[in-house]
Amino acid sequence: MFEYFPTNYIWSLGVAATLNSGGTIDEVDRACRPIREAAERGDAGTRDLMLAWKRVADQVAEQAEAAEKAGHRRTAGQKYFRSAAYICQAERMLSSKDPERIPFYQQGLDAVQKSFDLVDPATTRVGVPFEGVELPAYFTRAERPDGSPAPTMIMWNGLDSTKEHMYTSGWPAELATRGISTLMVDCPGSGEALRFLGLTARVETEDWARACVDYLETRDDVAADRIGLVGWSLGGYYAPRAAAYEKRLKLVVAWGANHNWGEVQKARLEREGENPVPHYWEHVLWVWGYDAVDAFIAGVEAVNLEGVVEQITCALLITHGENDRQIPVRYAHRSYEQAIDAPKRDLRVFTPEEGATEHVGLDHLPHVGAFTADWIEDTFRELDEAAGAAG
């Protein structure tokens, strides 16, 4: 992995993710160059990171505003997109108690909406009804040549990512070129669902899977019998768990396996392995709604797929990086070995020689993204062929 900050894995991973999600090397370098010393301070330096990245994000947004006033909509939309990408990467590094975190996140939401308005009318903001509220989401609509309803992937994030990270990754646009729509959802414990609605994570992810499928079934542009689910990072637990119990899903992808996340937390408490985000213990308490680390560790023992993946009866893909410093690759093999009732199951481990070998492939996101999109495209086609042969 390209390590801009050699002594700070978390910040370097953020840089790699940004460069693989539409950021430009010049703008990222101008944000990072002044904070090289701050990177040495770890968690204590995250406010410096936010301010440095905000300066560049603000500059790019000002350029976007000027371009929009001059009538250059495409230039403006592209710049709003990059401004949003920079904000969302820096925002995730802040303490949950930082008073600037919510306003900074809102700035990113506003920028990404401007990008939709100016250059991506296929993507709209939607709400997924869930337990008396609506889960905030984006929907990227694919146009089919014959105008028919499109197969659709539900996309879930992880411990500290948001639907804005999903969108700026470019992966929903990649699916759209293949005739597949994407519903990007801030699940409980993430994004707006956590920040604005106070919804915390839970073991039973099938609850919000049911809500997502129910919502998609109301749309006349969605093929209701061709709905899949992909989750990255902690979504590598969320998605397989949901697919084990929500049988309307036709395929599921664990973009980074997370077979026993509770076990990983115990190891982290013993200082084994990398943390995915600064202020780690404060962050996980916020996400899961606990007041103390001991209670959290006990509660998340249940966040594992033992006895669960055996109940998956749709197609399953697991991708993982051989050099994942956060979730050891052995968990990918464990999920694969136990998913004995999946009619199609594939495991793809990315090596250091090819890239995409770090956590969820953030070091080479287009590589793992293209492989995953290919697999989904092939699997939907196979389902269509099987239905045609049976009919």
CATH number of the domain at 383, please: 3.40.50.1820
Q: Are 240 and 313 in contact (CB under 8 A)?
A: no
126, 20: one domain: no
What is the predicted pLDDT for the residue at 31?
96
Q: Could you tell me the pTM of the whole model?
A: 0.97
**231 vs 208: CA distance, rounded Å:** 13
Start-to-end CA distance of the chain, whole Å, equals 49
**250 vs 32: CA distance, rounded Å:** 43
300, 384: one domain: yes
Local confidence band at 44 (pLDDT 50, 70, 90 cut-offs)? confident
**152 vs 22: CA distance, rounded Å:** 23
110, 129: one domain: no
Looking at 70-100, list the stretches that DSSP marks H as alpha helix, in order from N- to C-terminal side. Answer: 73-91
Would you say residue 48 has pLDDT above 70?
A: yes
82, 227: one domain: no
Mean pLDDT rounded to a whole number for the chain: 96
182, 316: one domain: yes
What is the predicted pLDDT for the residue at 272?
63
Per-residue pLDDT tens over the stretch 240-258:
999 999 999 999 999 999 9
186, 65: one domain: no
Among the candidates 121, 150, 167, a domain finishes at: 121
Number of domains in the chain: 2
Local confidence band at 273 (pLDDT 50, 70, 90 cut-offs)? low
**379 vs 145: CA distance, rounded Å:** 19
Residues listed for the chain: 391
Among the candidates 55, 90, 121, a domain finishes at: 121
**62 vs 76: CA distance, rounded Å:** 9
**26 vs 36: CA distance, rounded Å:** 16
| HEC readout, 229-243 | EEEECCHHHHHHHHH
What is the predicted pLDDT for the residue at 321?
98
Beta-carbon contacts of residue 252 (< 8 Å; ≥ 6 apart): 228, 229, 230, 239, 240, 242, 243, 312, 314, 315, 316, 317
- What percentage of residues in the chain have a pLDDT greater than 70? 99
What is the predicted pLDDT for the residue at 278?
87
**184 vs 153: CA distance, rounded Å:** 8
Residue 235's nearest CA partner among 329, 359, 337 is 359
Beta-carbon contacts of residue 123 (< 8 Å; ≥ 6 apart): 116, 138, 139, 140, 141, 167, 172
CA distances from 388 to 20, 381, 383 (A): 39, 10, 9
**232 vs 224: CA distance, rounded Å:** 23
Q: One-letter amino acid identity for 81?
A: F
Ramachandran region, residue 389 (left: φ > 0; alpha: ψ -120 to 50; beta: rest): alpha
**172 vs 179: CA distance, rounded Å:** 11
75, 61: one domain: yes
Query: Number of helices and strands (H, E) in the chain?
Result: 16, 8
The CATH number of residue 96's host domain is 1.20.1440
**378 vs 38: CA distance, rounded Å:** 46
267, 367: one domain: yes
Mean pLDDT of the region 218-228: 98
DSSP classification of residue 34? G
What is the predicted pLDDT for the residue at 340?
97
145, 264: one domain: yes
**4 vs 228: CA distance, rounded Å:** 36
Would you say residue 148 has pLDDT above 70?
A: yes
What is the predicted pLDDT for the residue at 271?
79
Three-class DSSP category at 184: strand
Would you say residue 182 has pLDDT above 70?
A: yes
145, 11: one domain: no
Per-residue pLDDT tens over the stretch 72-122:
999 999 999 999 999 999 999 999 999 999 999 999 999 999 999 999 999
Residue 237's domain comprises 122-390
Sort 333 into a burial class: Cβ within 10 Å, 0-12 / 13-18 / 19+. middle
What is the predicted pLDDT for the residue at 196?
98
What is the predicted pLDDT for the residue at 341?
98
Mean pLDDT of the region 137-165: 96
Q: Are 36 and 5 in contact (CB under 8 A)?
A: yes
249, 317: one domain: yes
215, 354: one domain: yes
Among the candidates 81, 105, 121, a domain finishes at: 121
Residue 87's nearest CA partner among 53, 52, 39 is 53
